[in-house]
Amino acid sequence: MNDLSASKSISALAGMLELARTQKLPFNDLFQFAESRSVAGLKAEAAEIYKSWIAFNEGHPFLHLVYFNYSVTLRQLGDIAGSIHALRACLKLDPKFGPAHINLGRAFEDAGIATQAIQQWRTLVELTSESTADRISHRLMALQHIGRVMENAGLLEEAETALWQAMELRPDKTEAGQHWSAVRQRLCTWPILASSDHVSKRQQIDSMSPLALACFSDDPLFQLARAYRYNKSFVGRPDISGFPRKAPKRKVGTGQRLRVGYVSSDLRDHAVGFALREVLELHDKESVEIYAYYCGDPAPNDATQARMKKAVDCWRDIAMLNDAEAARQIAGDDIDILIDVNGYTKSARTKIFAYRPAPVIVNFCGYPGSMGSPFHQYMITDGHIVPPENEIYYSEKVLRIACCQPIDRKRVIADTPSRAEAGLPEDAFVFACFNGMQKITEDTFAQWMKILVATPGSVLWLLSGNDSTDQRLRKIAESAGVAPERLIFAPKAPNARHLARIAVADLFLDTFPYGAHSTAADALTVGLPVLTFPGKSFAARFCHSIVAAAGIPDLICTDPEDYVEKAIGFAKDPASLGRVKQALKDARETSVLRDIPGLARRLEELLWQMQEECERGETPVPDLRNLDVYYDIGAELVLENTTFRDDAAYRQRYREKLSEWHDFSAIPHDNRLWTAPDA
């Protein structure tokens, strides 16, 4: 170390010692500083800062952890006696702290006192003697319940802590990990995955829900394989011996109506409910008979549900029925085609479909991806989201409507507020995103920061998360060179007022890999242009489908670089954005996005196509071949977390891995990427 470096090191240490003495050195900063000194070979400085902090922070709740780290540093310096003193102090504060017992025994062993080492470890064994399988199971259950309740109450940081404790206790149990990753996404705690000695990143990936995975990675093959695995664990193989497979009724060409059932927990004031309510009203009642099966929470005085009840032929509340009872109800209603509008979203009742209560089962509208199940035979989407070459990413047979995002043209929109009333500066260029916090990734936020740095007169308007999340994003923005006050957070507002206020922004910036769905349709409905770029997966292609359907394809970018460049260009040339807004306005009433009567007719055509295929015995069988192999390969590749990769490079990476696996153990060919040579 040269003289200048030594001087800086001494100065830094002196500053830290003063903070420790005045109790102004936070616990985390202490560890970070001491660790940096140890890594730099300055272990004596690390020991000195620990010793000083201990002397002046006697009442701190984590003092035992500081003693423990101090003991490790002393041991590295060869001071075994000092290390033993520190470990004994640690155990006085927390007699059940296992690592201190382990290290104290090792210190005695290294000092040549084997009997004392054994006694120390026996003490730990006795302390943990009550850790029976039942007790561990009960502790796990309690921690999971604590995490779940706190998550539902919006206490996300507390939920994350409880769920992490549950994960470390039993990392092979996926329930806690599933909620933990989702909570971290909502908190924008990056990186989302954070392994420890007890929980690996692979275990965290294995526990991710399909929806959380869609927010994490643009990998449609792995998402399909994850859905397949999730279905096996979430649904399993229920006893269907008392449920004979429903044979199709002959209806094609008979003049009889097709009986169609929609199953959802979201047939209420919810994004899915808003999307479907006009479609249900526009169904041709001479062609189809509509049954709605509601499995959500009671929704008294709910305007959307009231409209839907008037629109359908039969409304059934199945929330209080178990899965088998609900399946019997549906089978008893002689439903021809049953539509799953939940997929793997909150309050889904996926097991109902496993009983095959109808001859045809369809995945539509509620879930952005393949179900990967043996009983969902069709998926309805559009050609932008799933072009023909991407059908290999789905287990269902893909059928297409013009745009997969229905809207309600009757939605009530309040009067547009002024920018001041919306909490915005009058003269700024306002970039906005109203997607949930869980969709904002570290890479997306970095792109936004590039845009803001290049456009000094702009602000970014986001929906508020909680206070800690908002402040975290402001702090990250500041570290990227963006003044924190340029991030403006919108509080929650009633739907009609929210729709009105978003119109005062200049440009909506989409997220990746899980893009805007109903939020994009809302923005376009009130005249706010949406800038996006498509990926490969369903969730990463949805928004560009909506933008295309609105008639403004110029706002569909090719990749992240093009997205950043165009956003900057619009802010610097507002006139060019004005032309886009005019084009959006001109196309509004004639756009595909607002052709809901056409969507309803096309939907009915597809329903009758499915019925005809069923009557001919041609209902497709979901293709689930090799999905366990794709899962294991995808789990390796997703940890690379390459945010954006073009389709050719993506497929080549999988083929390379498939070839490696095949060399070790032969893989039978499939119709995805491991095709026969002559296929």
Euclidean distance between CA atoms 305 and 266, whole angstroms:
9
What local confidence, expressed as pLDDT, does residue 31 receive? 85
- Cβ atoms within 10 A of the Cβ of 161, count? 16
Confidence at 425, pLDDT banded by 50, 70, 90: very high
- Cβ atoms within 10 A of the Cβ of 524, count? 28
Phi, psi (degrees; rounded to nearest 5) at 461: -105, 120
What does the block give as tokens for 78? 């060869």
What local confidence, expressed as pLDDT, does residue 419 receive? 94
Return the closest-CA partner of residue 317 out of 299, 334, 338. Answer: 299
Instruction: Average the pLDDT over 344-362 and give the result.
Output: 95
Residue 565 has pLDDT above 90, yes or no: yes
What local confidence, expressed as pLDDT, does residue 440 receive? 96
Euclidean distance between CA atoms 540 and 532, whole angstroms:
9
Instruction: Average the pLDDT over 214-236 and give the result.
Output: 94
What local confidence, expressed as pLDDT, does residue 137 receive? 76
Beta carbons of 19 and 25 less than 8 angstroms apart: yes
Euclidean distance between CA atoms 351 and 325, whole angstroms:
11
Euclidean distance between CA atoms 571 and 576, whole angstroms:
9
Euclidean distance between CA atoms 521 and 547, whole angstroms:
8
What local confidence, expressed as pLDDT, does residue 3 receive? 45
Confidence at 4, pLDDT banded by 50, 70, 90: very low
Q: How high is the mean pLDDT of the chain?
A: 91
What local confidence, expressed as pLDDT, does residue 148 receive? 79
Confidence at 212, pLDDT banded by 50, 70, 90: very high
In the beta sheet, which residues pair with residue 17?
none
Element (H, E) at 647: helix 647-664
Euclidean distance between CA atoms 556 and 543, whole angstroms:
9
> Tens digit of pLDDT for each residue in 454-510?
999 999 999 998 889 999 999 999 999 999 999 999 999 988 999 999 999 999 999
Say what the pTM is.
0.81
What local confidence, expressed as pLDDT, does residue 466 receive? 86
> E strands of 492-584, at which residues?
507-509, 530-531
DSSP-derived letter for residue 383 is: T
Residue 30 has pLDDT above 90, yes or no: no
Residue 1 has pLDDT above 50, yes or no: no
In the beta sheet, which residues pair with residue 362?
339, 378
Euclidean distance between CA atoms 358 and 245, whole angstroms:
8
Euclidean distance between CA atoms 284 and 262, whole angstroms:
15
What does the block give as tokens for 459? 């602000």
Are β-strands 314-317 and 530-531 bridged in parallel, bridged antiparallel, or unpaired? unpaired
The amino acid that residue 150 corresponds to is M
Alpha helices, H only, 493-537: 495-501, 518-525
> Tens digit of pLDDT for each residue in 577-605?
999 999 999 988 899 999 999 999 999 99
Euclidean distance between CA atoms 5 and 11, whole angstroms:
10
The amino acid that residue 636 corresponds to is E
The amino acid that residue 260 corresponds to is V
Phi, psi (degrees; rounded to nearest 5) at 431: -80, 145
Euclidean distance between CA atoms 83 and 67, whole angstroms:
9
Return the closest-CA partner of residue 354 out of 209, 236, 266. Answer: 236
The percentage of the chain sitting over the pLDDT mark of 70, rounded to a whole number, equals 97
Return the closest-CA partner of residue 336 out of 239, 238, 275, 260. Answer: 260
Instruction: Average the pLDDT over 329-345 and give the result.
Output: 96
Minimum mean pLDDT range among 158-167, 324-333, 524-533, 622-631: 158-167
Phi, psi (degrees; rounded to nearest 5) at 194: -150, 100
Alpha helices, H only, 312-400: 323-332, 351-354
Minimum mean pLDDT range among 141-150, 372-381, 443-452, 561-570: 141-150
The residue that leads in pLDDT, 143 or 643, is 143
What local confidence, expressed as pLDDT, does residue 641 receive? 65
Please tell me whether the peptide bond between 513 and the residue prior to it is cis, using omega within 30 degrees of 0. yes
The residue that leads in pLDDT, 346 or 563, is 563
What local confidence, expressed as pLDDT, does residue 10 receive? 60
SS (H, E, C) 156-187: HHHHHHHHHHHHHHCCCCHHHHHHHHHHHHHH
Element (H, E) at 366: none
Residue 9 has pLDDT above 60, yes or no: no
660, exposed or middle or buried, with CB in 10 Å at 0-12, 13-18, 19+? Answer: exposed
Euclidean distance between CA atoms 386 and 320, whole angstroms:
36
Query: How far, CA to CA in Å, does 465 sit from each of 182, 187, 470, 496?
Result: 14, 7, 6, 20
What local confidence, expressed as pLDDT, does residue 37 receive? 83
φ/ψ region of 457 (left if φ > 0, alpha if ψ in -120 to 50, else beta) reads alpha
Beta carbons of 433 and 462 less than 8 angstroms apart: yes
